């Protein structure tokens, strides 16, 4: 009975969103996107799309999303939004980070990406334009993937901070006490595999089209680069996401090496009390600001 009620609620929600969508104006980018997608299907094999297309999407999205944070360090006005203002980025750190990223991307992640084609073939994942889900379905699926990945990340990330394990794996990621966007995937190869597994679980659960793989890659990169940016910029659209953790939340983790273990949302840390130090820190900061204003 409860299952039927849940299904009915989901169906009603889907129909409601579909009804609202019918009143929205046509997306001017839809036709160019359709033309580009069909051109890709006509000129490349599924293996090429799944493998090299996925690599290109990851690399282009990753480094493009890093650009704003990289530019901020040269703009004096933006420094008031930097969370750890006493720890500026240096060329030495950024170059070291970039070299490690290239190794991880091409020697750890690329071999995993090479399995994408076989995954889509095994589960009969379609590539065609006609089978592509509507935008609101993609948004819901990406949110579902984020919820699953966040749960995996919280518990495995917390485990990697165990005193018997930390120095062998996760310590690499914490070489930067003050994080910057490009450092989001700076990690030990084993950590890339362990925490990266959470990314694929949602895909196995929700994937019904090749486009979800790419949409989820972009969403995940957008989130992880934002929380590692080191800047708490106002009017950040990601703050509209319910229970979104954000840069200040994760920056505190890098400052203190403890607590705030979740990747995207705050509920696991709130549930297990691992955000208590962060909450106390925020209260102290608010008191300081009040005293300064007086």
Per residue in 220-229, pLDDT (tens digit) is: 999 999 999 9
What end-to-end distance do the CA atoms of the chain give, in Å? 59
pLDDT for residue 280 is more than 80: yes
pLDDT-derived band at 283, boundaries 50, 70, 90: confident
Per residue in 195-244, pLDDT (tens digit) is: 999 999 999 999 999 999 999 999 999 999 999 999 999 989 999 999 99
Ranked by mean pLDDT, the top range of 10-14, 16-20, 26-30, 270-274 is 270-274
pLDDT value, residue 3: 44
Calculate ∠ Cα 283-78-294, nearest 5°: 40
Place of tokens 């070299």: 99
pLDDT for residue 294 is more than 80: no
State the Cα–Cα distance between residues 141 and 212, nearest whole angstrom.
8
Average pLDDT over the chain reads 91
pLDDT value, residue 14: 56
Per residue in 81-104, pLDDT (tens digit) is: 999 999 988 999 999 999 999 999
| Token code pair at residue 124 | 């009969």
Percent of the chain with pLDDT over 70: 90
- Average pLDDT of the segment spanning 167-191: 95
Task: With beta carbons less than 8 A apart as the criterion, state whether 120 and 50 touch.
Answer: yes
State the Cα–Cα distance between residues 180 and 178, nearest whole angstrom.
7
| Three-state SS at 178 | coil
Task: With beta carbons less than 8 A apart as the criterion, state whether 224 and 185 touch.
Answer: yes
- Average pLDDT of the segment spanning 286-292: 69
The DSSP symbol for 27 reads: P
Q: State which H helix or E strand residue 175 sits in.
A: none
| Token code pair at residue 88 | 């500026």
Task: With beta carbons less than 8 A apart as the criterion, state whether 104 and 190 touch.
Answer: no
pLDDT for residue 6 is more than 50: no
Instruction: State pTM to two decimals.
Output: 0.90
Calculate ∠ Cα 137-143-148, nearest 5°: 125
Count helices and strands (H / E) in the chain: 13, 0
State the Cα–Cα distance between residues 264 and 149, nearest whole angstrom.
9
Task: With beta carbons less than 8 A apart as the criterion, state whether 185 and 62 touch.
Answer: yes
Angle between helices 247-256 and 210-227 (to 10 degrees): 60
Burial degree of 70 (CB within 10 A; 0-12, 13-18, 19+): middle
């Amino acid at each position: 009975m409860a299952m039927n009620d849940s299904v009915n609620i989901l169906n009603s929600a889907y129909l409601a969103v579909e009804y609202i969508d019918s009143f929205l104006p046509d997306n001017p980018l839809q036709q160019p996107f359709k033309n580009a997608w069909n051109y890709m299907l006509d000129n490349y094999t599924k293996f090429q799309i799944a493998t090299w297309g996925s690599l290109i999407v990851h690399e282009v999205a990753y480094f493009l999303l890093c650009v704003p944070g990289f530019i901020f360090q040269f703009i004096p006005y933006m420094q008031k939004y930097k969370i750890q203002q006493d720890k500026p980025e240096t060329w030495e750190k950024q170059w070291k980070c970039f070299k490690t990223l290239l190794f991880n991307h091409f020697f750890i992640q690329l071999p995993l990406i090479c399995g994408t084609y076989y995954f889509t073939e095994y589960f009969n994942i379609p590539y065609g334009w006609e089978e592509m889900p509507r935008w609101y379905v993609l948004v819901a699926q990406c949110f579902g993937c984020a919820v699953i990945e966040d749960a995996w990340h919280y518990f495995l990330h917390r485990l990697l901070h165990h005193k018997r394990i930390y120095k062998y794996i996760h310590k690499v990621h914490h070489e930067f006490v003050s994080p910057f966007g490009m450092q989001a995937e700076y990690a030990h190869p084993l950590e890339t595999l362990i925490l990266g597994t959470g990314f694929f679980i949602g895909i196995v659960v929700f994937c019904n089209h090749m486009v979800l793989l790419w949409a989820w890659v972009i969403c995940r990169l957008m989130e992880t680069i934002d929380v590692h940016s080191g800047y708490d910029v106002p009017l950040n659209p990601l703050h509209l996401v319910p229970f979104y953790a954000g840069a200040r939340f994760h920056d505190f983790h890098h400052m203190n090496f403890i607590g705030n273990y979740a990747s995207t949302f705050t509920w696991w840390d709130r549930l297990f009390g691992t955000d208590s130090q962060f909450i106390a820190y925020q209260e102290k900061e608010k008191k300081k600001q009040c005293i300064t204003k007086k």
